[in-house]
Amino acid sequence: MNPTKKSSRTPWSWIPSLYFAEGIPYIIVMFVASDMYKTLGVSNAKLAFWTSLLYLPWVIKPLWSPFVDIYSTKRKWIVWMQLVLALSFVGVSLVLQTPWWFSLSLVFLWLMAFASSTHDIAADGFYMLALDEHNQAFFTGIRSTFYRLAMIAGLGLLVIITGLILDRTGLETVRIEIEATDQVQSTEAFNIADFQTAAGEGKPEILFYPEKVQVQLCKGSKAESCDSTIIYFVLSSPPEEDEVIKMNFGHKKGSQDIYLASKGLFLFDKDNWDIPREAVIKVKPNLRVSARASFDAKAGNVPFSWAVSIGFLAILFLLFSIYHKYVLPYPESVNGEKESAGGSYLHVFKTFFQKEGIVPSIIFLLFYRFAESQLTKMASPFLLDARENGGLALSLTEKGIAYGTVGLIALVVGGILGGILASRHGLKKWIWWMAISINIPNMVYIFLSYVQPGNLYIVNACIALEQFGYGFGFTAYMLYMLYIAGQGQYKTAHFAITTGFMALGMMIPGMISGTVQEFLGYQHFFIYVIICTIPSFVALWFIKVDPGFGIKKNQV
């Protein structure tokens, strides 16, 4: 080995950055992509299907994991995959401004998924190669912490930044106050000719009529005009030649008895900018007293906002690639790193499927998260969707704080607590409680979908409860995968196979979740999710766990 190359460096110089880099692309592909497509107007069924299909590289990564050992070194795989990830982020950022943005962005997300799953293989292998057993144990918590920080950065900080850019780009948001009353003041009849404006100079603005919006309470009246009114929208001037302005109109706060009874998405271009669009506002028949609500008409530049934030990740991964090229150590065993897997490739898989009780174990891996895999795909669309569609109408910034920061902190706390209890009393003692924890707190989404609280403290508390339960319950899943992989030879390869089944159990239910939600609506969908927890408990009933597994050896 070249004497100028260091065979070892302090793990603090590369473990935090390596596992932060491992977490970011996974979070972008699996979760943030759903937020991006939702804000770009993609249907729930479509975004759930395609973003779930992106899980496939993690499902099949055990098939090519031996090649990471055979060809080149894990150190080089890490550096090159980070460079490929940087190029993938560049690709997504650039294509969002094109007419074929959906198809092209999926292509680059597929590339990102394959590069990320390959990076996972190389990083985990390098971790075991570069550290002795003592340091592997010591830095397990450190790598996990920085992987979780990557989740906070992706689900929280990145989404918040995108939301802030969105609020400061495009057209200025217009807040419309609406009053439901039994004493509606008369207004002049709407005249299209008066409302249409001549082509003006400068940036377009959102115009609406009437200036004072009131809805007549019916109180038993049979008048056709009672319980509804119409708001008309146009732009003050035409957009640029090829620009299409997407304006979203929906409930922001106030009485939920005042609601939008028509579509809330309007498209304006240079040919139709001065043609009035109608938004129908109605009040529920049970409303008997005066009430108020605020609606927002927003037309931020969504593609530009996502392009900027994702473009930042491209720069970050270019820096990661350069940094790790010079900082990652060259372990003494690097020349013997390549393994001849040709003769043992099939044997690895054969011995896995010959394990005792493997069929119930595989069923458990596939169905333990059957409900959670569907909830995860629809949670973000639900939080972002308009109240008229059954959602909570959170802004990207509010969603980033609720789900990506508060919720993620609760998830980490739940995971740490689960690990502590399992190490003291063993997995077998806690596995049923963990199964209850990962499933039953999903009921908070039934509450959120029926009540649709406008109070963000309530929303954050519900999400924190669900995520804490998920973190605590997921501990059982991770420990059981280690339990299966630890039986016999090829522990690393067998663990990779279990992660493949884990990914498959997330991918297929996630693919259908959007279609099911659109058919059932959010309220009935979340009830359906609770019903889907039953296979988790059934699968758990048939598996066996050594009572001593998970307990520290000196405690057994």
Sorted by where each begins, the domain ranges of the chain are 1-169+303-341, 171-299, 343-556
Mean pLDDT of the chain: 82
CB-count burial class (<10 Å; 0-12, 13-18, 19+) for 440? middle
Measured from the Cβ of residue 411, the count of other Cβ atoms closer than 10 Å reads 24
Model confidence band, residue 500 (pLDDT cutoffs 50, 70, 90): confident
- Judged by DSSP in three states, 251 sits in strand
Which residue, among 294, 265, 295, 259, has the nearest Cα to 277 in the 3D structure? 265
- Mean pLDDT over 218-232 rounds to 69
Neighbours of 139 (CB within 10 A): 18
Q: In this predicted model, what pLDDT tens digit does every residue of 450-482 receive, in sequence order?
A: 998 888 899 999 999 998 998 888 888 877 877
3-state secondary structure of 31: helix
Are residues 398 and 141 in contact, defined by beta-carbon separation less than 8 angstroms?
no
Cα–Cα nearest to 223, from 184, 178, 249: 184
Please say whether the beta carbons of 283 and 256 come within 8 A: no
Residue 37 has pLDDT above 60, yes or no: yes
| Nearest of 471, 453, 466, 465 to residue 398 by alpha carbon | 453
Peptide bond into 210 cis (omega under 30): yes
Pick 1-169+303-341's CATH classification: 1.20.1250.20, 3.40.50.2000, 3.30.390.30, 1.20.1070.10.
Answer: 1.20.1250.20
Global confidence as pTM: 0.66
Q: Would the pLDDT of 152 be above 90?
A: no
The residue-averaged pLDDT of 398-413 equals 81
- The Cα 407–Cα 413 span in angstroms is 10
Answer whether residue 272 shows pLDDT above 60. Answer: yes
Give residue 510's pLDDT: 87
What was the pLDDT predicted at 530?
95
Q: List the end-to-end C-alpha distance of the chain, in Å, as a whole number.
A: 44
Mean predicted confidence (pLDDT) in 212-217: 85
pLDDT at position 182, please? 79
Q: What is the model's pLDDT at position 145? A: 65
Helix, strand or coil for residue 235?
A: strand
Distance of alpha carbon 118 from its chain centroid, rounded? 21
pLDDT at 201: 61
Over residues 301-351, the pLDDT tens digits come to 888 889 999 999 999 999 999 999 999 988 744 444 444 444 466 777 788
Q: Which comes out higher in pLDDT, residue 1 or 230? A: 230
* pLDDT one-digit tens code per residue, 92-133: 999 988 888 999 999 999 999 999 999 988 887 787 678 765
User: Dihedral angle at the C-alpha atoms of 456, 459, 460, 464, nearest 10 degrees?
Assistant: 170
Pair 381, 516: CB distance under 8 Å = no
Whether residue 55 contacts residue 30, with contact meaning beta carbons closer than 8 Å, is answered with yes
The architecture in CATH of the region 343-556 reads Up-down Bundle (1.20)
What per-residue confidence (pLDDT) applies to 105?
94
Cβ burial, residue 17 (10 Å; 0-12/13-18/19+) = middle
Domains 1-169+303-341 and 343-556 share a fold: yes
Helices (H), 96-158: 101-130, 133-138, 140-151
| C-alpha torsion sign, points 208, 209, 215, 221 | negative
Average pLDDT value for residue range 434-456: 92
Checking if the pLDDT of 213 tops 60, the result is yes
Q: What is the mean pLDDT of residues 490-506?
A: 79
d(CA 534, CA 528): 11
**Which residue stretches of 440-490 are H helix?**
444-451, 456-485
Selected residue with higher pLDDT from 391 and 337: 391
Q: What is the DSSP letter of 390?
A: T
Span 22-29, average pLDDT: 91
Which H or E element spans position 230? strand 228-235
Element (H, E) at 233: strand 228-235
Q: How far apart are CA 20 and CA 144, in angstroms?
A: 9
**Average pLDDT rounded to a whole number, residues 433-440:** 92
pLDDT at 124 (0 to 100)? 75
The encoded tokens of residue 404 equal 């990506």
The Cα 513–Cα 525 span in angstroms is 9
> Does the structure show a pLDDT above 50 at 78?
yes
- How far is it, in rounded angstroms, from Cα 15 to Cα 478? 21
